Structure 1
Amino acid sequence: MRSFFKIQFLFLILIFISARLYSQEAENEKPFEAPYLFGSDTLIELSITTNIKELIRDTGKKSKYHQARLSYQLGDSVVSMLVQLKTRGHYRKNKNVCAFPPLRIKFDKASSSYTLFHDQDKLKIVGHCRNNNSRFQQMIFQEYLIYKAYQILTPEGFSVRLARITYKDSAKEVKNLEEYVFFIEDFEKMAKRNGKIPIYKDRIHQNNTMIYEVTRMAVFQFMVGNTDWGVPTLHNIKMIAKTPTSRPVPVPYDFDWASLVNAPYAVPNEKLDIESIHERLYRGYRRTPEELEFVFKEFRMKKESFYSLYQNSDLLTEKEIKRVINYFDEFYDIINNPKLVKRYFIDNSRQVRYK
């Protein structure tokens, strides 16, 4: 009888060991998960081969996609995939403004599977405006860092990824062009990452959005010196919400007209009562001193992080870093002074007009 129980005990041990081995084997056979493009701040080195002249000359309202090949180094191997490029935007499409227009890249799902760009469809590329121009290169870095600064406040903003692209001409008529760019996260993916849905409806008044979030966003725009946005018209603003009937959260993008970027082509809207993009203007609606102070507290809490983002950046020149810090110093002087708060954020704020 003892030998019978001993055999049963050994049999149970064998079953347990087999189950453990099967479990480990199944775990090791999990499908490969490629890294998320916006999950790192590491610089990406890429090359894009296309007919450059045909691409940058196609700046009409009905610009088309152009075939291209994107490649990057992965260890000892080269990852290569077919993509499509087209020009995008409005103002910077003008050849008198930018010699190289902004681009949109479209990925082939099969070609990009298991690469850095897996699960991406179309992405905006924010790139240089004029070739081999140090000022425009600093502009790219400044706009990139504004996106990073906004994410210090909230994850409900667009993620960005910096890259250095070598453009190669498939027609062999243009020399290789190496420039810094950054990719902007897809709108719907940004909404999903935040547990929300995209809202495409316009004509939503600022006061019909999440009040704290819209006020914080407006104060941030004041901090970086950007007046080129509007909530009801969805001008450089996207909306996300928990449900289709929830109050939406406005998410800003496209900061190239901000004072920090300092674009030579940027001028304030003639309807605004300012003469320069460097002149601060709060474009949020009137809030009480208590409501504003609640928002300002968050900016004071995040002050060190904002400053560190720029002071520790190896992208900007010392001159550009100093310019940003001086501009931030002015912002904090304003929000820490009740008289200046009243002047900028209350007396000169926008007001709801009731008929």
Structure 2
Amino acid sequence: MRISTLFSIVFIFLGFGTALGQEREKLFDSNVPISMKMSFSIKELKAKTNDSTYMDTEIAVESAPGSWETYPFEVRTRGNFRLQNCFYPPMRIKLKKDDAKGTIFQGNRNLKLVLPCSKSKTADNFLGKEYLAYQLFEQVTEYTFETRLVKVELTNLDDKKAEPVTLLGILIEDDDEVAKRFKGEIVNKKIPPNIMEDYATVRHDLFQLMIGNTDWSGLYQHNQKVMVIGEKTIIPLAYDFDMTGLVNPPYAQVNSAVGIERVTDRMYRGFCRDKSIFEVVRAEFLEKEPAIFQTIEDTKGYFSDTDAKAARAFVKEFYDILKNDKLFQLKVVDSCRKLDGTYSF
């Protein structure tokens, strides 16, 4: 074989391989759950990792039916409440750049992984409803963390039988990657909510009312990131929706300082804005009502029929507020927080 012909064949082969790499599905391009396999000691994970310390593990991903690819991930615990109170801790998983190249994880090699809290047979239901909350937020605003469901076959090496269990999980986009998508930057310092972009902030705050979430703080960035786009546009990014009325897990708690008794009791925690801004965003939510309820239908396969019915009823209560001028004035406009953090009522 002539050398020039050999080089041509090699070039074509490499080009074909590159093309395949370019056509490979990106992590958040699909809503179809990814199948994964993980094996490690949960006790060791909790005892030996923290915000800065990882441990090595391997994660196998089903790239095609019956075909698995194994990646050398690093994993650590993250979070506070669920870390201390749940059997399965929330995690951060990380893949080296060279290992991620040409794979589904290219461009998203640092990820949060959320698993159910408990070993209960119904625990996946609550995870499915938390995923619903992320999907609903995507209907409300473009400024969201991208997510994808995973079905994790997890072997806990603490178990003498080492029998794998299958869990529903959520992969959540890294802070820096969402900022990169919007050509912005994540800011890790106190930002007074009144200087955040008005409409984006009210959309965020009304969404939190819709799902019944009081477990967040704009000022202290609790379950919220702040992204700066350009020189002045400051955007809130919400995450961690388990402690909400929509999800309503058994471990749900309400901060006594908030003033409600149950997570299913709604309370508007946004700061005051001009009423015209409230009305514009109110109209947006009303226009998106069909899409909101369709999203519940699209995701109801990940939780029980009873939970789907409860989710529809809970969101309907929110829309009952929006559709009633007096209720909207009372529950939102007159209930907003002043700059000193106190409430208007």
Query: TM tier, shorter chain?
Result: 0.7 to 0.9
Residues 297/68 of structure 1: CA separation in 2 closer, same or farther (3 Å cut): same
Residue 36 of structure 1 corresponds to which residue in structure 2? 26
Residues 29/184 of structure 1: CA separation in 2 closer, same or farther (3 Å cut): closer
Aligned pair partner of 1:66 in 47, 55, 60: 55
* Contact 2:141 2:200 (8 Å CA) reproduced: no
Residue 197 of structure 2 corresponds to which residue in structure 1? 210
Q: By how many angstroms is 1:63 displaced?
A: 7.3
* Contact 1:65 1:84 (8 Å CA) reproduced: yes
Q: By how many angstroms is 1:295 displaced?
A: 0.6
Q: State how 1:224-303 maps to structure 2 within 5 Å.
A: 224-243=211-230, 245-303=231-289
Gaps of 5+ in 1: 1-23
The C-alpha deviation readout for 1:110-138, integer Å capped at 9, x for no partner, is 2332222123332110111112431x211
* Contact 2:141 2:203 (8 Å CA) reproduced: no
Q: Write the letter of the residue equivalent to 1:231.
A: G
Q: What's the secondary structure of 2:215's corresponding residue?
A: coil
Q: What's the secondary structure of 2:59's corresponding residue?
A: strand
Aligned pair partner of 1:127 in 115, 118, 121: 115
Q: By how many angstroms is 1:25 displaced?
A: 11
The C-alpha deviation readout for 1:326-349, integer Å capped at 9, x for no partner, is 111111111111111121112222
Residues 77/322 of structure 1: CA separation in 2 closer, same or farther (3 Å cut): closer
Q: Distance in 2 between matches of 1:296 and 1:343?
A: 14
Of 305-314 and 249-258, deviating more is: 305-314
Q: What's the secondary structure of 1:282's corresponding residue?
A: coil
* Contact 1:286 1:345 (8 Å CA) reproduced: no
Q: Write the letter of the residue equivalent to 2:119.
A: N
* Contact 1:45 1:163 (8 Å CA) reproduced: yes
Residue 348 of structure 1 corresponds to which residue in structure 2? 335
Matched, 1:101 2:89: yes
Q: Distance in 1 between matches of 2:188 and 2:60?
A: 38
Q: Write the letter of the residue equivalent to 1:308.
A: Q
The C-alpha deviation readout for 1:150-186, integer Å capped at 9, x for no partner, is 1112221001010001113567733212111010011
Residue 183 of structure 1 corresponds to which residue in structure 2? 171
Gaps of 5+ in 2: 1-11
Q: Write the letter of the residue equivalent to 1:65.
A: Y
Q: How many residues align?
A: 325
* Contact 1:236 1:252 (8 Å CA) reproduced: yes
Q: Distance in 2 between matches of 1:143 and 1:172?
A: 28
Q: By how many angstroms is 1:316 displaced?
A: 1.9
Q: By how many angstroms is 1:274 displaced?
A: 1.0
- Structure number with greater Rg is 1
Aligned pair partner of 1:311 in 297, 303, 307: 297
The C-alpha deviation readout for 1:276-309, integer Å capped at 9, x for no partner, is 1111100112234432111111111111111011
The C-alpha deviation readout for 1:2-41, integer Å capped at 9, x for no partner, is xxxxxxxxxxxxxxxxxxxxxx999868553232111111
Matched, 1:80 2:70: yes
What's the C-alpha RMSD, in Å, of the aligned pairs?
Answer: 2.4
Q: Distance in 2 between matches of 1:172 and 1:335?
A: 50
Q: Distance in 1 between matches of 2:220 and 2:340?
A: 18
Q: By how many angstroms is 1:353 displaced?
A: 4.4
Matched, 1:143 2:130: yes
Of 322-331 and 110-119, deviating more is: 110-119
Q: Distance in 2 between matches of 1:201 and 1:49?
A: 33
The C-alpha deviation readout for 1:219-260, integer Å capped at 9, x for no partner, is 0100000011111211111122222x3130111111111111
Matched, 1:91 2:91: no
Dislocated runs of 4+, deviation >6 Å = 24-29
* Contact 2:242 2:249 (8 Å CA) reproduced: yes
Q: Distance in 2 between matches of 1:44 and 1:201?
A: 31
Q: What's the secondary structure of 2:310's corresponding residue?
A: helix
Matched, 1:46 2:36: yes
* Contact 2:196 2:233 (8 Å CA) reproduced: yes
Q: By how many angstroms is 1:65 displaced?
A: 1.7
TM-score, scaled relative to structure 2: 0.87
